[in-house]
Structure 1
């Protein structure tokens, strides 16, 4: 007789029954683990993609929303969270006097690039920090439009609060009118 007998079964019978019962359970557990891992990576990649896509438009709502999700989706990943905390601390710091603003914005750029670099490495991308900083495009017109919109909103807000008066100036017609003058109206003469 075999040395291992369990209630009259041989060890091969016990192993076969265990495989039949535990096989589907383990397959479902592995599938769920893989789905959770894939979903977590997809969410992290979406945040990284949003930050990369808005590198030159940091006041964009998509950029701010992605920043606010970093601590949720990268929780416990200290290689990402440490640069994230440094970058947020810098964003929350007061703006220096004009003499120190160039250095201040250079530090902000370096901290942001470090954050992107660490996120990229965590997600399997090996970007060079220099490339992350230099290889992005943001039209100057976007910046000008945002500045003009902010300025106009400030003026309208001051006007609505009664802080600023609405300037009214008389308009003089220009001498170079692109339209021809209106035709002269000729009155018919009355019969005599």
Structure 2
């Protein structure tokens, strides 16, 4: 979620404070966003799962959570649109919109980098180190330039 998206969500409560249907939909979305969700049986790691199996289960879990969030967001936006006189179906909201792939890629890469550094900090990941300039160095780096 971008800063702009969170800011817009936070304004709904202020802009539509007297619109019960909108506030109810917004609260369901916020409750979902603030809940630690349990995994369904097919999403739970089992002893002996390979990294590939764990990644698959993670993918199932996050796809489900994201689908639930998108559905709740579409319902919230639909209730807002109706209040403002727009004629649009929930499905159009759910399937509509445009997010550049570059933004998606950038957010995914940033999450991966943050997680890698956190794992490194907590000792769950190792940082490979290569010695350059030693007697057995074959990198071609001249020792006098170091």
TM-score (norm 2): 0.65
Q: Deviations over 1:61-99 (max 9, x none)?
A: 000011112111211211211111111111112133236
- Return the offset for 1:156: 3.2
Greater relative contact order (Cα < 8 A, sep 6+): 2
Distance 1:104 1:165 in 2: 30
Aligned pairs for 1:41-120 (under 5 A) are: 59-97=1-39, 98=43, 101=61, 102-120=63-81
Where does residue 141 of structure 1 map in the other structure?
102
Q: Residue 117 of structure 1 contacts residue 129 of structure 1 at CA under 8 Å; is this kept in 2?
A: yes
Where does residue 169 of structure 1 map in the other structure?
130
CA-based RMSD of the aligned residues comes to: 2.6
Q: Deviations over 1:106-126 (max 9, x none)?
A: 322211101000111112211
For 2:85, what is the secondary structure of its paired residue?
Answer: coil
TM-score (norm 1): 0.51
Instruction: Name stretches of at least 5 consecutive residues in structure 1 with no aligned partner.
Output: 1-58, 175-192
Distance 1:154 1:115 in 2: 31
How many equivalent pairs are there?
115
